[in-house]
Every structure is written in C-alpha cells, then in structure tokens.
Amino acid sequence: MTETLLSAEPSPWLWESLVAITFVLVALNLLLITLVHGRRIRQSLRGGRERRFQARLDEVTAKLDQPPGLRDRVWLRFQLDGFDELERPLAAAALAERLRDAAPDDRRQMLEVLREVGAVELLVRSTRSRIPWRRALAVRTLGWAGAEETIPLLIGLIGDRSRYVREAAVRALGRIGDPQVLPQLGELFRVPGRVAPGIVYDALVSFGSTAAPTFAGALRSEREPVRVASCYGVAAVSEPEQARTDLPPLLADPEATVRAAAAEALGQVGGSTLPAGLARASRDEVATVRVASTNALGSYDDPQAVELAVNALLDPDRDTAVAAGEALVRLARRPAAAAAAERVLARSEQAWPVERALIMDSVGAV
C-alpha cells in the first residue's frame, strides 16, 4: 500500500494551486519593489524641485533687497507671475515669515517693493481662492506686510465662511493698526462667537491707547467673559489714572471671576493710593478673589496696603496667605510703605508665609 501511495502522481489541482501561489508571491515582490523604488524616485524628484524652487526664491528675495535704483521690477514681476499653484503658497509663507521678523522700517520698504512688482495684487487675488487655507495664508501675509489699501477687503473677510480666514483677517487688521476698523473689532469683542475672543483681544491690544474706549465700554457688558477680558484690556492700554478709575467698580461685580480679574488688573496698574474697593475685595468670600486682591496690594505704595496684607497672613486659604507674604516683601521696596512693611517683616519673620516670601525674594522670585 505504501508503494502505491508513493507511486501515485499529484493531482492537477495541487499543481495549479502551487503555480497560483508562486505567481501571487512574485507579483507581491514586484509590487513591493516598485513601491519602494517609486517612493525613492518621487522623493528625489521632489527634493530636486524644492531645491530649484528655493534657489529661485532666494534669487527673488535678493532682488527685493536691492536699492530701488538697481531693482529690476519687470524681472521681479515676471518671476512672481511664474510661480505655479503649488509654489505660490510656499512663496507667500516665506514672505510672511520674512515680514514678521523684519524691523518696522524694513517692513515698510518691503511693502513698497511688493506694491511695485504686483505682489500685493497677487495676494489679493489669492484671498478669493476656493481653498480656505490659501485664503487665510494670503490674508496673513497682507497683515504682516501692513497693506492699508486692503483694509476694506479684510473687513469683508471677517464674514468669511471659514473660521481660519475670519481669524486671519482679525489678526491682519490688528497688525495694520488703522483705527477705522475699531468699530468692527469692538463689535466682535462685545459679541464673541464668529471669532475666538482671545484673537480679537490681541488685535485690540495692538492698537494701544486708541482701543482704551473699546475696553472701557465693554466693562459694562452683560457677558461675564467679556467683562473679564475687558479688565485686562483696560490695564493693558488705558492710562494708569484712567484705569484706576474704570476698574474699581468691577470689584463689586456679582461674578467672582470678574472681581478677581479686576483685582489682578489693578495689581498690574499699580500706583500710590490704594483704589477704592480693593480693601473690601481682600476680604471677599471667594478665595480666588482674595488671592488676586491681596497680591495686588503689593503694587500700591500705601501704608494701608501693609495693614491689609498683615491681616491676610492669617487667611485660612493657603494661596491668600502666600500672596500676603509676597505683597509685604514688595511693599518693603516702596518709599511710603517701606517703613511699616519692614517692621512687619521683622516682627513676623517666623510666620511661614513671610519666611517663604523672604526665601523666594532671596532668589529673585518675588
């Protein structure tokens, strides 16, 4: 029987299966080799194209940096028009980075060059692209360039269907800094939603004192987050005396977050006389408000601030006691409050908040 089995020929289906398996394995090997070498060829071609593009971009940039009398505007315009759909976004991104790092005078000179060679027109055209990120990139570049003539266009793009384009437009308007756009930015700040509040805030702060009325008016907003952001905005751009007038009423706000923001903002402003309401806020029922208010005491050269800080050393909230110790150390550096603060520090140096503050001060952390 064994001899019969050994002498039997394999069935046809077995040979067909072996041939099929061999064919599949060979095909898979060929496919793998093709993919590996194809990827290498593609990377090589892409690398060569990137090097050629970078060399061309460097040549254009060098021409842009030349004095007006030596600048070949026709050649530059021809080169810019020659960038294809893939190269234009790369050129715009490189230009935006260059403008961002440039000094204000250099940026103004570069803008004049860009106007001469039609680059601003190309960027404006790109803001009408169907692809959102290309529109946003063009808007971002116009903002860094400071192209005032595009302000009406940028205002219109605040209503773009893409959030990224809307936010790029707000940032660009803030960088250009033309006061005529403050009403639109102020409305976005007071009624957040279409653009992230932090982006509108940053744009308004870039206007400096010109935006002070916008922040001051928003202190009366019905929206808690708007009032909070307005406190910091007032501290950032208003005249100190005006800020010390506008912020204290917010120390009595029904929302603890607003009271804390007002106290922190007053600490950023500082002054010689303790603002009305800060003493009461240092005894607020909410710990976060007490912390911010106690910390703000160290920014005012007023003996009353020393007394309030001494009382806060006994606060059951640890962070408030820490803020009191640090406030006393800072008050010891101020002319009018120094004597009283130094006496307290000498008398209370064994109290842990004072001991901690003195140690932190010795390493420059207070």
Average pLDDT over residues 148-164: 95
pLDDT at 353: 96
Residue at 151 is within a domain: yes
- Both structure tokens of 221: 């907003």
- Both structure tokens of 162: 């893409």
pLDDT band (50, 70, 90) for residue 24: confident
pLDDT at 328: 97
pLDDT at 277: 93
Longest Cα–Cα distance in the chain = 117
Predicted confidence (pLDDT) per residue in 37-52, tens digit: 666 666 554 555 556 6
- What is the Cα 197 distance to its own chain's centre? 12
Distance between CA atoms of 209 and 243, rounded to whole angstroms? Answer: 11
Give how many domains the chain has, as a whole number.
1
The domain in which residue 104 lies consists of 56-180
Angstrom distances, CA of residue 93 to CA of 60, 162, 194, 236, 297: 14, 19, 25, 31, 46
Average pLDDT over residues 269-298: 96
> The CATH number of the domain where 154 resides is what?
1.25.10.10
Predicted confidence (pLDDT) per residue in 113-150, tens digit: 888 888 899 899 999 999 999 999 999 999 999 999 99
Residue at 268 is within a domain: no
Q: Across all residues in the chain, what is the average pLDDT?
A: 87
Residue at 214 is within a domain: no
Residue at 113 is within a domain: yes
pLDDT at 6: 47
Distance between CA atoms of 361 and 38, rounded to whole angstroms? Answer: 63
Residue at 202 is within a domain: no
pLDDT at 58: 66
Predicted confidence (pLDDT) per residue in 54-82, tens digit: 666 666 666 566 565 445 666 666 666 66
Residue at 226 is within a domain: no
Residue at 79 is within a domain: yes
Average pLDDT over residues 330-356: 94
pLDDT at 190: 94
Distance between CA atoms of 355 and 189, rounded to whole angstroms? Answer: 43
Distance between CA atoms of 327 and 321, rounded to whole angstroms? Answer: 10
Residue at 346 is within a domain: no
Average pLDDT over residues 323-343: 96
